[in-house]
Amino acid sequence: MNEVFADRVVMGSEDRLAEMFGGSLGEDGIKFSAGNPNAELFPIMQMKKAFNKAIEKSGSQIFEYQTVSGFENLRRRLAQWAGQTADIKAVADNILITQGGQQALDLIGKLLLNAGDEVVVEAPTYVGALSAFDQYDPYYYDVAMEDDGINLEQLESVLQAHPNIKLLYTVPDFHNPTGVTLSLNKRKKLVELAEKYDFFILEDTPYRDLRYKGTKLPSIKSFDRHGHVLFVSSFSKILMPGLRVGWVVADKEIIDRLRKLKTSSDLETPGIVLAALDQYMEDNDLRKHIEGMLQTYRSRLDAMLAVLDETMPADVHYTRPEGGFFIWLTLPEIIDAQKLLSEICIPKDRISFVPGKVFYAHRNKKNGMRLNFSGVNEERINVGITKLAKSIRTAIKANEVGALL
């Protein structure tokens, strides 16, 4: 029946996200492949109270149809939050609440992209964004990541060569998958380029508030003068992913159009979840909750960097993030991380990571891997990375003697 499906389905690129979640390690396997926050830090009791209070306050009203934009009180709070945490001037009308950050990416793709439209992504970039945009069949130009974010010279030559580029997608803070943070200077420059070449910047910031060291930077959106930047964030990493609540901050004109697309896509996000979240933020200090998590995540980051420094061979490189969930490790070019994973690390070491290929729009690089440190404790980080280093050495050696992995 294949021929009856739409082109967007037959091309099959919507499998990108599904690909990441496969593979079973057994119970005591060590999973560096996840992108999950540490569930032990979830404020379950407070959230339970918040659900109860929300139901008691609103009664049946909260289970009726709500508004498409999402609970107004919460939108007002999120506008304040954008001011406090990202230096963005916003009011409730600048906010659309979405079904997690993923829906924000989907709706922005739906809003902007005709088949064949040109999009710039980082190389590597967040696979969920590729998965969302793929549905609208764009053409991707990828631009290399450096230690301070996207390579601007390369970007500008792409923009000069392709004046119709509509959208640039970036994760400026503790980038997924590399952990890299975009420098202050590059943030300003990106907005100038967006103005000069007239494209939108989708600034995706789920990790923004999870900084463990170094100095906080203003958001790209804070430099935006003419509505070129669409700012997206989410409660998934700073609170709990299962709530499935994200949001977009943008000019009212854009929000109005995104809201219409959301109406056609799923009508609205469950009011009870938004009311409970609003109640949680009323009764608790979300910033304090986040601060409480920083120490745990900082120790895990430091532990992973220390054991990497100690165990990895000289021709293996890795990033030194100041926040977020991920370290990006680059193997010698001859090593295929996917093979390393499926032939050695999963069956023998019982450790997992995400092989890099999936993070490239054109799937043309095989020697990177994403390591998650936020979901694994220090002891297991030490054990797992030590095993990984040993297997990498074995693989390099095997390649040197001609048995290509």
Site for a second copy in 236-255 (CB under 8 A): 240-244, 253
Look at the chain and count its residues.
405
Rounded to 10 degrees, the C-alpha dihedral 9/16/364/169 comes to: 90
Closer residue to a second copy in complex, CB, 124/128: 128
Q: Which of residues 118-177 bind a second copy (CB under 8 A)?
A: 128, 131-132, 134-136, 166
Member of 162, 188, 257, 350 binding a second copy (CB under 8 A): 257
Residue type, 229: V
Q: Cα dist. 65→2, 61, 244, 397 in Å? A: 37, 8, 18, 62
Window of 34-42, 80-88, 152-160, 302-310 that interacts with a second copy by CB under 8 A: 34-42
Subset of 271-290 contacting a second copy (CB under 8 A): 271-273
How far is residue 353 from each of residues 137, 164, 349, measured CA to CA in Å?
Answer: 28, 37, 12
The residue within the footprint of a second copy, chosen from 74, 94, 96, 110 (CB under 8 A), is 110
Check binding of 102 to a second copy (CB under 8 A).
yes
24: how many CB neighbours lie within 10 A of its CB?
A: 8
d(CA 89, CA 227): 12
Q: Which is nearer to a second copy, 243 or 312 (CB)?
A: 243
CB of 278 to a second copy, least distance (A): 14
Looking at residues 188 to 207 of the shown chain, list those that interact with a second copy (rule: CB under 8 A). 198, 200
Q: Which is nearer to a second copy, 104 or 340 (CB)?
A: 104
DSSP state of 340: I
Residue nearer to a second copy on the CB measure, 29 or 270: 270
Over the window 60 to 79, marking each residue x when it contacts a second copy by CB under 8 A and - when it does not, the resulting string is: xxxxxxx-x-----------
Determine, following the binding rule CB under 8 A, whether residue 46 of this chain makes contact with a second copy. Answer: no
216 makes contact with a second copy (CB under 8 A): no
CA distance 21 to 18: 6
Number of residues interacting with a second copy: please give it, by CB under 8 A. 74
Report CA torsion sign: 356, 372, 12, 169.
negative
Nearer to a second copy, 149 or 271 (CB): 271
Burial class (CB in 10 A: 0-12, 13-18, 19+), 27: exposed
